[in-house]
Amino acid sequence: MTTPHEGPEVAAAQPSAVIPADPVLDAELLDDDDRPHTRQEHYRRSSWWQRSPHVPAAFKSRANAAQAAKDAAVTTMSSPWRFLRAAGRGTVLAVRAWRRWVTVRDYREAAEQSEKLADKYVEIRELTLLRWRVTGGVTGIGVAGVAVGDMVYGSPALWLTAVIGATVLAITGRRKDGSPGRKPVLAGPRSLTWTMDPQILVDAFRDAKLIGKDETLRLVERASRVGAGWAITVDLPATRKATDVVKNREALASALAVDEVQLLVERVRGNGGHAGRVAMWVADADPYATPPLRTPLLDVACWDTWRPIPFGRDARDRRITLPLVWTSLLVGAIPRQGKTFAARLAAAGLILDPHTRLYVADFKAGKDWDAAAHVAHRFMSGDEPAHVLALAAWLVELVTEVQGRYRRMRDLDNDTCPESKVTPAMSRDPSLNMPITGIFIDEVQVPLEERTPIKVQGKMIPAGQYIGELLTWLAKKGPAAGIVLVLATQRPDSKTIPSQLRAVLGSRFALRVMDWRDSNIILGEQMNTRGWDSSRLLPSHKGVGILRPDGDTAAGADVLAMMVRTDYMPNDDWTTLCQRGRALRAAAGTLTGHAIGAVSVPLLDTATVAHVIGPSQIIDERPPARDVPEDLPEPLASVVEYLGADLDDGGREFVPTAELVDALGVEPTAFGRQMGELGCRPRPGRRITAEDGTSRRARGYLIADIRAAIEAQRHDPEPDDGPV
């Protein structure tokens, strides 16, 4: 054993020394991650007041506490005036009730209804005198009691009597469903109170016929200030639907005495909502009266296309972003409403990503898109038939590219390509050559209405129809392969944009149009009956439109549509962004095509797209009819000019009379007589097939008869009458 004075060296020198050790405990090491139930129990105990319905909302968050303090301050300041008004109404009610009682009004009316007023006159007179005596006695006793109290206790008795009387009158005259008293014939203007009173909201729903007179609302979230307006969430009565409130937003805005642009009504969906829950926001003033804000993309060095692109702000000043990858966009409006600005905002995000590829076709033939020529793989600006044919070649090139991408995806492993979709890593891998490719076509109605013939599967069809088929194919199969289609038009009608194409465009943005039909063509069928009609937008609200997104936004993923004011991006800012995009591509080595001077038009690869669209061959000019004489008489010359290649290619045998009359703008009877004089008479009705698949019988002319009339004019022209 060592002594207390011996150090550790001495202990080490004595091997036989015994050093006592700490006790050994048998235990198991537990990690915090192995005790989830303990953590959950601790969380439940520490946050019980957040979930308890008995704890007021003011004690659950700072925002609710601040709102409760504001409401308390408002109530405190307005209480004296409310008390006086209620006491005044109570006095009026008390006087009216006393007068009805003292004049025996109820007994008198009952006698009048039973036609026994004369028989009951004596009884009514005696009862009236009795009630006057009771009134006098009660008044005398009351005055005497007050006088005695004043003599015994002094002025406090008078004050106490006045306070009690005023309180009783105020309780009697408190406001319920309406103000008692005489109603004016011509009231003053209606206005929404600056604080959202729940009773005002209930009255507004009743006035708008959204709930019945005996129904009320249930408060889910009390009214609170959100931005420059009031927000509140309510539950409708049973069997009432939130979609009806959204559809009748104009009637509700009228009941609230605000413009409908100041009122936002949304159905609350998901776990926290149901079919009868409505979230409302009422702006203090027109949210679109202030100048627009410039795009935040000016403050960023680059952008990732896989992130939603900043697009604008809603009425609540929330930032609204627009997802573009795996979807497509249609922008429609009448001229000078901000259509091109909206399309350029969508393009700006792709321009600031050096790993994207752009196709830009400006059929407005202006300078709005010229700056994009420095970054675009393909670019053109013009509205001639040659530009339309060039666009057809672009689209065939893209169809070939999409098919090639899908073939290459099949050879990739599941780690690189988990599904048959382009991933962010794949889009940035130069060896795979699958960048996100954006196709921007401004004034898309120009190519879709082009009548220049293109031969497809041996049949001549208008170039616009062929371009519509190519765009529809790309909108269907292109998004998964990284193709983004953005179309802008100022003629949103069913003839300009085929229904097959509109049906596959995911995102829609409708600025102001002329009527609800045009709005439905952009946003979708029956959107006006669901409360979304862009024809009701104000002309002064430039850049304000209805966005129907295909993806998650700041307003939620389940929002059907929203009103958005697009960011402002003038030509100077647009040029700056394009120059920045070119610098990014130059540094990354991704400048291609038109941006580096390669402006050659791609050739049509008919073998690749034969099984998708059909073999195609672009014909730059309409081929002339066979050896047509130059001096054909009218109307045969106009018929030959209209039919053109159909006289030679053999693909058409019959042309209806109605078609020729509409195309040439002639009078039917005179046209038939003149054609008969030229040896070309109409044939009996033949069955033809319309565009919608229906068939009908129609009179018309055989192509062979028209050729025979041309031959007759060549060999036997009509002689002139000679000199007189």
Annotated binding site: 333-340
Q: Which of 360, 365, 419, 421 is nearest to 391 (CA)?
A: 360
DSSP-derived secondary structure letter, 568: B
DSSP state, 316?
T
- Note whether 261 and 295 are within 8 A (CB): no
> H helices within 103-180, ranges in order?
105-113, 121-153, 155-172
End-to-end CA, the chain: 160
Q: CA nearest 507: which of 570, 461, 553, 451?
A: 553
Burial annotation 535-573 (CB, 10 A radius, 16+ → b, else e): bebeeebbbbbbbbbbeebebeeebbbbbbbbbbbeeeb
- Where does residue 422 rank: exposed (0-12), middle (13-18), buried (19+ CB within 10 A)? buried
Here the tokens at position 474 are 């790309």
Of the candidates 202, 261, 205, which has an alpha carbon nearest to the alpha carbon of residue 229?
261
Rg (CA), the chain: 41
Answer whether 69's CB lies under 8 Å from 156's CB: no
Say whether 421 sits in a helix, a strand or coil.
coil
Residues 6+ apart with CB under 8 A from 447: 361, 363, 387, 388, 391, 392, 441, 463, 464, 467
Q: Are 457 and 410 in contact (CB under 8 A)?
A: no
Q: Please tell me what DSSP assigns to residue 600.
A: P
Which residues partner with 313 through β-bridges? 319, 565
Beta strand extents in 363-399 (DSSP E only)? 378-381
Query: What does DSSP say about strands 507-510 and 328-332: parallel, antiparallel, or unpaired?
Result: parallel
State the binding site for ATP. Answer: 333-340
